[in-house]
Amino acid sequence: MKTENHDHLRQELRLAQLEIKVLRDQLLKSTQETLQTHATSESPDTSTPAAKSGIIPMQPHLSVPAPRENNPQRVLYIEDSEPNFRLVECILEDRPGTELTWAATGRQGLDMTRANPPQLVLLDLDLPDLHGSKVLEELQAQPATAEIPVIVISADATPSQIERMLTAGARNYLTKPFEIRRLLCMFDEVFLPA
């Protein structure tokens, strides 16, 4: 029974990876077409309220930044589910210079963060040993880790929980299942200069 369960999880992971690749390719193609259309149009579109006000909506940087070999983008994902980690790994695989590491428990994540501080922590809340809020609290309490941005990725979509985590110091909060575009936007906010 256990082997069948592992085989089923592997199949689901392969399907998810394929779906992500297809979506990423479609997104890149759509973005390139949009950029070409805007580059060739003679007058800007001012029909939307955002365009009229001059506000530029948040967009992920789909053109991949140059590799950062001397200064890698170190990301730690504290998540007890390997398929969830593999999903994020697949999403970030086209980001040159990104080093994604995995901690399956809150305590392991805290130890890894102290030993080699990442530049970004992705944090699940429902961990087997510590609740993610406790992990965030401990990260915020240590001077060496207090400034590391933390993005919570959780299935808990209750407004009170989201507010609690943001008030406690999380930089952002994504609910599962999350939109890939939102994760990439949040990632870019941390790593790409304004």
pLDDT single digits (tens) 57-69: 444 444 444 444 5
Which helix H or strand E contains 66, and what residues bound it?
Answer: none
Token digits of residue 20: 């992500």
d(CA 75, CA 78): 10
Tokens 């990632």, located at residue: 187
Coil vs helix vs strand at 152 = strand
pLDDT for 136-161, tens place per residue?
999 999 999 999 999 999 999 999 99
Highest mean pLDDT (candidates 15-19, 37-41, 68-72, 93-97): 93-97
Say what the pTM is. 0.67
